[in-house]
Structure 1
């Protein structure tokens, strides 16, 4: 494992899978401003490495990926510093959304508030059976903001309202049923399941995968007709990379 900075480290495989581990953030990997900036900087640095085909994000230990934002720090904020703090969290979540390769969230234990917002900003979410999810902000006097806006797109407006307005805690099977996570596995099988998913992503054509992630991100924001028409140019440009020719010819050769 190679340290990127005080708050995150990375491991890499020869097949293009990288794993970013959040460090020095306590047993629950709580996000204060320094941790958020450090992890964001790590993501932005790794985003420049075109050899990375899939990125797994995990926390240190097994209690959480990100337990949530730091209430001790938030308790000291005024309006200006609160806006600066939440902008820092927004930038961290956007670093995951904008990462060129798919980002896989490894979810164990607690995933609360800002931690769930970060998980929602990842492309794929694999959870262990012990994972629990909540948006408890209204219980401590603040609204759920920034990438909580992704939740209605993931689980629908009704369930997003329930999760946010009730500050309800849901377990992993419920999160799977709602579509909040993509897969739930026994705790002991989590790393194996993530490896299978990461390999599946990494085995695909890398330029096509980067284009696909970018399209999915744009589809979240654009009207339907604009999304459809935008895709035409991306499809055509993909043939400039040589990937379609190589992969399609390999497919045809296997059928001979």
Structure 2
């Protein structure tokens, strides 16, 4: 693993799959300002690499991908520094959302608060069988903010209200039923489950997948009519590459 900075380790394989590991953030991979900025810087440095086909976000510890934001740091904040802190975390979430290829969250153990906000910004979430999820901010005197706003889109308003207003945690089977995670691995099978997702992504046209992610991000913000309209141009631009001809011909040949 190569260290891009003290909080961001990167390894890659010959397929173009990159694992970004959150480092030196404690056993629960807690996000303080230094870790937030380090991870964001790592993502930004990788974003221009056209050879990357998928990115997996993981914690150095098997206790969590990201346990949450640093309460010790937050306890020292005033209004101005609080807004600066949460803006940094929002910047990290946006770096994940806007990363040009699919981002997979590898989620063992605990995923709370700011950690769940980062996970919500990922494209695909794969959890261990014993993972636990929650938004406990109101119990420490603050509301859940920034990319908690993605949660109603994932799990609906009622379940979002329950998570944010009760601060209760849910287990992995419940998270799967709610749509908070996409896959729950059997015991000891988290890496195998992630690898199955990666294999599915690698079976797709890399340029098509980049275009699809960009469209999905636009669709989150646009009304339906505009979403349909921008899709037409994206469809046309896909024929500027050789992927449609090559992959469609492969499909036709396979059916003969």
Shift of 1:187: 3.3
* Aligned mates of 1:213, 1:244 — CA distance in 2: 17
Shift of 1:255: 2.2
1:205 corresponds to 2:205: yes
Could you tell me which residue of structure 2 aligns to residue 115 of structure 1?
A: 115
Could you tell me which residue of structure 2 aligns to residue 63 of structure 1?
A: 63
Could you tell me which residue of structure 1 aligns to residue 44 of structure 2?
A: 44
Shift of 1:203: 2.4
* Aligned mates of 1:136, 1:229 — CA distance in 2: 40
Could you tell me which residue of structure 2 aligns to residue 215 of structure 1?
A: 215
Deviations 1:75-126 (A, max 9, x none): 0001110011001000000011000000000001110000000000000000
Could you tell me which residue of structure 1 aligns to residue 124 of structure 2?
A: 124
4+ residue segments displaced more than 4 Å: none
* Aligned mates of 2:168, 2:221 — CA distance in 1: 27
1:6 corresponds to 2:6: yes
Shift of 1:70: 0.2
* Aligned mates of 1:139, 1:61 — CA distance in 2: 25
* Aligned mates of 1:39, 1:123 — CA distance in 2: 17
Could you tell me which residue of structure 1 aligns to residue 143 of structure 2?
A: 143
| TM-score under structure 2 length normalisation | 0.99
SS in 1 for 2:188: helix
Could you tell me which residue of structure 1 aligns to residue 100 of structure 2?
A: 100
Could you tell me which residue of structure 2 aligns to residue 72 of structure 1?
A: 72
Checking the alignment, whether the CA contact within 8 Å between 1:6 and 1:24 is kept in structure 2 is yes
Shift of 1:59: 0.2
Gapped runs of 5+ residues in structure 1?
Answer: none
Could you tell me which residue of structure 2 aligns to residue 89 of structure 1?
A: 89
* Aligned mates of 1:171, 1:88 — CA distance in 2: 29
* Aligned mates of 2:200, 2:10 — CA distance in 1: 20
Could you tell me which residue of structure 1 aligns to residue 172 of structure 2?
A: 172
* Aligned mates of 1:195, 1:129 — CA distance in 2: 16
Deviations 1:125-169 (A, max 9, x none): 000011000000000010100000000000000100001011110
SS in 2 for 1:188: coil
* Aligned mates of 2:101, 2:215 — CA distance in 1: 12
Could you tell me which residue of structure 2 aligns to residue 245 of structure 1?
A: 245
Checking the alignment, whether the CA contact within 8 Å between 1:17 and 1:199 is kept in structure 2 is no
